[in-house]
Amino acid sequence: MNARAVPSPLPALDRIRLGVGTLLGDAAALASRALGKGSGASIRGQILTRAYPGAFGALVKRRRIAAVTGTNGKTTTSHLLAAALRAGLGSEAGRLVTNADGANLHYGIASALAKAPRADLAVLETDERVVKDLLAQGRPEVLVMLNFSRDQLDRNHEIKFLARSWREALAAAGPDGPVVVANSDDPLIVWSAQTAHRVIWIDTASTWTADAALCPECGGLLQRTNPSEGSPTGAWDCPACPLSEPAADYVVRGTDVQLPDGTIVATRLNVPGAFNVANAACALAAAVQLGVAVPDALAGFSTVRSPAGRFAVATIGESLVRLVLSKNPAGWAESLPLLKTDPVILAIDSVAADGKDVSWLWDVDFEQLGDRHVICTGPRAYDLAVRLEYGDVDHEVILDVADAVRAVRGTPDPVDVIATYTPFQKLLKMAGLR
């Protein structure tokens, strides 16, 4: 690992305010857990930042930071990167703090950092809307930029606005800004990373292109050329301006990753899916930049099995299930091919954490489930049922998530369940995983 950072001390008054806010937040978190409302991480951070509004800025200034952001894969990539760093740190792993529960807004990040005042290295899953403030106030050493996709359409109306905020923040940071680890397959990511002082490009072999039809620089129609096994959609290019897919430093090749020197290493992940190989490639590049040897990073990856409950196999009552989180069309496109069971359960909701607009259901290729029986559940189950009806997919509606899980009790093998954020959290609670 690189040399240890020396946290800058807070002024005495700020230390007092931070201490009081942390105590009040801890009390709120304890009450949240006692009432069965969750881990308490978010409420701790909300109380802390109300008691001390400058808590976020004060806490992110005091340590080395590797931040992970993007629409899909933040939690898993953060877990992989943290595991790689722990493997590289060895006996000094106590130096590391991370918001492992996925609370990635200002108060979630503040909550995690306040609980580890002596940790001088942080891996922070960071919501796309928080990146600008983190760059301005925390000066992260590494920023992993995964992808942009339509998500929570009622709040993020146009993802280019988010990309522009990143681009402007990186430009403002200048040479003091982070080394960026960026997905070269995503035109919006490439455009937003152009202003960074240094970028490590990752060819993630992405297959989802529905959010990348137009050039973010000039608005021209992008073209894709030379699809291959290693690059299933081909390299992208804008014929109307100079923007094009940059040459990659790390390249995903099936379940392996090609390093900058041409060496190919096996990821041997314990989380499924091609998208997680892409996440691992980004985490590997970030870990190497932070001073971790490749073998140590890969060994750390192997310890990650169900990050924040994703892909966990759990018993709920008399039912055995495998839990998969998917929140938007890009995520569903990656998750649906992982389904192995018949029937499958799909759980849909549309509160704030899920995004209130469920029109995205029509962008998902549910037709690939045509040979399965689907149990639709959750408050928006009938919206899903209409989509499946048009796709000629056999289905039934069981509105209550607990009843839907109960309907598959007694199966010898885990039944696959894909859920949006809110029903996924409910399932974790039912399974005793949060």
What is 248-282 written as a DSSP string?
A: PSEEEETTEEE-TTS-EEE---SS-SHHHHHHHHH
Three-state secondary-structure class, residue 25:
helix
DSSP class of residue 400 equals S
d(CA 266, CA 297): 12
Spatial neighbors of 283 by CB under 8 A, at least 6 apart, are: 68, 77, 80, 81, 84, 144, 297, 301
Q: Is there a binding annotation on residue 218?
A: yes
Mean pLDDT over the full length of the chain? 90
Residues comprising the chain, all counted: 434
Question: Percent of the chain scored above 90 by pLDDT?
Answer: 69
Say if residues 144 and 77 touch (Cβ distance below 8 Å): yes
pLDDT at res. 29: 80
Residue 33 has pLDDT above 80, yes or no: no
From the list 127, 259, 267, 262, the residue with the least C-alpha distance to 200 is: 259
In angstroms, how far is CA 393 from the centroid of its own chain?
Answer: 30
Rounded to whole angstroms, what are the CA distances from 325 to 167, 265, 312, 320? 29, 28, 10, 17
d(CA 284, CA 280): 6
Spatial neighbors of 64 by CB under 8 A, at least 6 apart, are: 2, 5, 120, 121, 122, 141
Q: Which residue in this structure is represented by tokens 């595991």?
A: 83
Rounded to whole angstroms, what are the CA distances from 153 to 156, 313, 329, 371? 5, 30, 12, 31
The more confident residue out of 15 and 77 is 77
Spatial neighbors of 312 by CB under 8 A, at least 6 apart, are: 306, 322, 323, 428, 431, 433
Three-state secondary-structure class, residue 190:
helix
Sign of the Cα torsion 155, 204, 330, 98 reads: negative
Q: Which of the residues 357, 363, 383, 394 is marked catalytic?
A: 357
Three-state secondary-structure class, residue 423:
helix
d(CA 135, CA 286): 17
Q: Which two tokens stand for residue 128?
A: 């796309």
| 110-114, 131-135, 180-184, 229-233: segment of lowest average pLDDT | 229-233
From the list 198, 241, 204, the residue with the least C-alpha distance to 222 is: 241
Question: Percent of the chain scored above 70 by pLDDT?
Answer: 94
What is the helix (H) or strand (E) element at residue 97, kind and residue range? strand 96-98
Write down all domains in the chain, each with its CATH number in brackets: 9-53 (no CATH), 57-307 (3.40.1190.10), 312-430 (3.90.190.20)
Q: pLDDT tens, 201-227?
A: 999 998 888 788 899 999 999 998 877
Sign of the Cα torsion 56, 61, 67, 69 reads: positive
What is the helix (H) or strand (E) element at residue 237, kind and residue range? strand 235-237
Q: pLDDT tens, 56-70?
A: 998 998 789 999 999
Residue 349 known to be catalytic: no
Q: pLDDT tens, 294-304?
A: 999 999 999 99
Dmax (CA) of the chain: 66
d(CA 126, CA 109): 8
Strand 142-145 and strand 121-125: the pairing is unpaired
pLDDT at res. 228: 63
Q: Is there a binding annotation on residue 282?
A: no
Say if residues 148 and 182 touch (Cβ distance below 8 Å): no
| 8-12, 43-47, 274-278, 283-287: segment of lowest average pLDDT | 8-12
CA dihedral 121, 123, 80, 142 (to 10 degrees): -90
Angle, CA 272 vertex, CA 429 and CA 347 arms, to 5°: 40
Angle, CA 154 vertex, CA 53 and CA 214 arms, to 5°: 110
d(CA 144, CA 12): 34
Q: pLDDT tens, 325-369?
A: 998 888 999 999 999 999 999 999 998 888 888 989 999 999 999
Residue 140 has pLDDT above 90, yes or no: yes
Q: Is there a binding annotation on residue 215?
A: yes
